[in-house]
């Protein structure tokens, strides 16, 4: 296996991220998290095809700009690795990506109800969470992002947002660090759950305004280290 072009701390964060997201049930046996290389920014890392709760540093694969493993690495990668590679190509500032099938977001990808920030932890959703319709790109599909053109189309729908919903499939969120992508994945799922609950009560629902969203998301960025320390410690303490 070739030596990875990443700092040890990045790989450690990525292992922790897999386990944190599994512990929060954002990932189960499916879904994945990746990080852009901090040494060769055209490349990124994600584990071989393995359940995120079981991932260790030895499972990490280095993928090139086309989402393909480096020569000599014969391990099986995730089919949907093109989600990550094409977002890194389209968004140079994105340093980490989470793709999940987390259940509470699914209703928002298949109805006209938009996912909107219902509380301050979901404030990064203020700019919107567009829905990717794979049929618009490829009529004959199995919903999976299994090649570069589909990944490119998904990155196009994501645009400059933090989160893209995928109709009948799940979501993908991005961050400018591994902790931020993890934070956003966890709180997108929670925001979706709360929005579904609020929808059952007398409405209309009072969402955050764009201005509140902008301010609250900036405030959350400043305190990201606190949940990340907690999540990472408790995830790595579990065997
Ligand atoms: Zn998927």
Whether 81 has a pLDDT exceeding 90, the answer reads yes
Distance 94 CA to ligand 1 centre (A): 19
Distance 131 CA to ligand 1 centre (A): 14
For residue 238, name the pLDDT band (cuts at 50, 70, 90).
confident
Distance 22 CA to ligand 1 centre (A): 15
For the chain, domains (ranges, CATH) are 8-237 (3.40.225.10)
Whether 126 has a pLDDT exceeding 80, the answer reads yes
**Interval 38-59: pLDDT, tens:** 999 999 999 999 999 999 999 9
Distance 100 CA to ligand 1 centre (A): 6
Taking the CA atoms of 19, 20, 22 and 27 in sequence, report the sign of the dihedral they define: negative
Q: Is 86 a catalytic residue?
A: no
Show the beta-strand stretches assigned E in 80-215.
96-100, 131-132, 163-166, 170-175
Q: What percent of the chain has pLDDT over 70?
A: 99
- Looking at residue 3, its pLDDT comes to 78
**Interval 2-49: pLDDT, tens:** 678 899 999 999 999 999 999 999 999 999 999 999 999 999 999 999
Question: Hey, what long-range contacts does 72-75 have (CB within 8 A, 24 or more apart)?
Answer: 72/1, 72/2, 73/1, 73/2, 75/48, 75/49
Q: In whole numbers, what is the pLDDT of the chain averaged over residues?
A: 96
State the catalytic residue, choosing from 62, 80, 180, 189.
80
pTM over 0.85: yes
- Looking at residue 20, its pLDDT comes to 97
Give CA torsion, residues 85, 90, 93, 99, to 10 deg: -40
């Amino acid at each position: 296996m070739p030596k990875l072009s990443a700092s040890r701390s990045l790989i450690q964060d990525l292992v922790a991220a897999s386990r944190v997201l599994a512990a929060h049930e954002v990932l189960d046996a499916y879904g994945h998290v990746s990080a852009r290389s901090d040494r060769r920014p055209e490349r990124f890392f994600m584990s071989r095809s393995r359940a995120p709760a079981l991932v260790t540093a030895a499972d990490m694969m280095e993928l090139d700009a086309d989402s393909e493993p480096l020569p000599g690495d014969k391990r099986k990668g995730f089919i949907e690795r093109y989600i990550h590679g094409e977002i890194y190509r389209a968004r140079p500032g994105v340093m980490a990506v989470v793709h999940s099938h987390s259940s509470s977001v699914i209703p928002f990808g298949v109805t006209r109800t938009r996912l909107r920030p219902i509380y301050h932890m979901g404030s990064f959703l203020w700019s919107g969470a567009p829905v990717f319709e794979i049929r618009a790109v490829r009529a004959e599909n199995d919903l999976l992002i299994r090649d570069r053109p589909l990944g490119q189309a998904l990155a196009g729908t994501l645009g400059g947002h933090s989160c893209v919903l995928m109709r009948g499939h799940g979501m993908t969120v991005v961050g400018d660090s591994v902790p931020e992508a993890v934070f956003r994945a966890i709180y997108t799922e929670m925001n979706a759950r709360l929005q579904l609950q609020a929808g059952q009560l007398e409405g209309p629902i009072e969402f955050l305004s764009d201005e509140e969203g902008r301010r609250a998301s900036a405030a959350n960025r400043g305190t990201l280290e606190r949940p990340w320390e907690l999540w990472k410690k408790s995830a790595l303490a579990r065997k």
